[in-house]
Amino acid sequence: MAPPATQFELAQPPNDAISALAFSPDSPSRLLASSWDKNIYLYDKLQNSGGEEGSHGTLLRTFEHRAPVLDVCFGKDGNEAFSAGMDWQVRRIDLDSGEQTTLSKHAAPVRRVVYSKEHSLLISASWDSTLHIHDPSNPSLSPLPVPLPGKPHAIAASPSKLVVAMTSRLVHIYDLSALSNALASPSPSAQPPQPWQQRESSLKFLTRAVAAMPSDAGYATSSIEGRVAVEWFDASAESQARKYAFKCHRTAHPQPDGSGSGATTTTTTDVVYPVNALAFHPVHGSTFASGGGDATVALWDAEAKRRMKVYQKFADSVAALAFSSDGRYLAVGVCPGFETGMEDYSGEGRTKIFVRELGENEALPKGKGK
């Protein structure tokens, strides 16, 4: 089953499960992947750069860490990256020189890092139930800790807000400029910054991923129970009435007799997969992609509440997704999914990164000749 040429697989994928993917803000050809094999991988020349057919992507270099890397993101440009480590550290990596500096230390593994271009802030979220707010341009400022009521599992930044999804279905939304101010004018007596909004997740199960709309209108969350919710920042009743949730990344297995016709007599086992990754399209802000344990990636139109596309099944669970800054490429990290009760896990040999070149109107809501 050779994938079509619009979707290619990167040579030299990570050796173990992928935790995150990130495209450079400057160039659609630079991609970072963080892996459980303790490395961060920097790829370039994703496009078929005049070479032979099949020579997609070059592994420029790897950046070794002391422990598995749980997240990675780019900073202000394509040469600056930040990593979240199982070794409790948040690191800044100079991708040119390979120099790594520790920005802060948490008291538990760091789950996520996110960089806000608008506010030049780096936010790290750790299982020690804190956020650390950093100003990477001013390393003399010590990171500002923000206590959380639960362990964070996913964070996302929109132009003005930071969404933090935690255990117990807690969701806090912070105002980034408030965080920025609190960091810039440290006063020991001051209260830690309070969330701008506190919400309960619309999903009944553990939150898996969060993605914020580039339009700053809202965000999407996904849970381990094959479901995605779309919500709006605006707290007015009208806006809140617009929020919705839907099932996805499930497969139905009809029982033996099943003609699949769903008659009253047939029982169907619905296999429900976690939705591991969400990503909004940077250009068509209403479009977002979801990647699930069912090894598929789907494109959705958040405004129209429509599914736009489902891509071919991959060989293994989709662990991470990233759109390039121009929205032309979608990177998909594939590795075996971790399932309940697994005693052992290894992504070795089955971890792959695919980059899909989107057709002109592939992610464009509507207008697609129906």
Instruction: Please list every residue from 285 through 324 that binds other proteins, using CB under 8 A.
Output: 293, 300, 305-307, 310, 312-313
User: Which residues inside 71-110 make contact with other proteins, applying CB under 8 A?
Assistant: 85-88, 105, 109
How far is it, in rounded angstroms, from Cα 303 to Cα 127?
Answer: 33
Q: Could you report how far apart the first and last alpha carbons of the chain are, in Å?
A: 28
Give the nearer residue to other proteins in terms of CB position, either 34 or 324. 34
Q: Which of 111, 172, 281, 328 forms a contact with other proteins (CB under 8 A)?
A: 111
Give the nearer residue to other proteins in terms of CB position, either 188 or 200. 200
Give the nearer residue to other proteins in terms of CB position, either 134 or 356. 356
Identify the CA nearest to 166 among candidates 156, 153, 179, 178: 153
**Which residues fall within 8 angstroms of residue 69, CB to CB, at 6 or more apart?**
19, 20, 34, 35, 36, 38, 39, 40, 83, 84, 85, 86
User: Which residues inside 2-21 make contact with other proteins, applying CB under 8 A?
Assistant: 2-6, 17, 19
Give the nearer residue to other proteins in terms of CB position, either 27 or 266. 266
User: Which residues inside 170-199 make contact with other proteins, applying CB under 8 A?
Assistant: none
- For residues 218 to 257, the per-residue mask of contacts with other proteins, x marking binding by CB under 8 A and - elsewhere, is ------xxxx-x-----------xxxxxxxx-xxx-x---
Shortest distance in whole angstroms from residue 368 CB to other proteins: 9
Give the nearer residue to other proteins in terms of CB position, either 190 or 235. 235
How do 152-157 and 144-147 pair as beta strands?
unpaired
Place of tokens 């040469």: 79
Distances from the Cα of 273 to the Cα of 58, 101, 170, angstroms: 32, 37, 21
Which two three-digit tokens encode residue 274?
């976690």
How far is it, in rounded angstroms, from Cα 282 to Cα 324?
Answer: 8
Shortest distance in whole angstroms from residue 190 CB to other proteins: 29
Shortest distance in whole angstroms from residue 161 CB to other proteins: 18
Give the nearer residue to other proteins in terms of CB position, either 86 or 93. 86
Overall size of the chain counted in residues: 370
User: Which residues inside 26-55 make contact with other proteins, applying CB under 8 A?
Assistant: 36
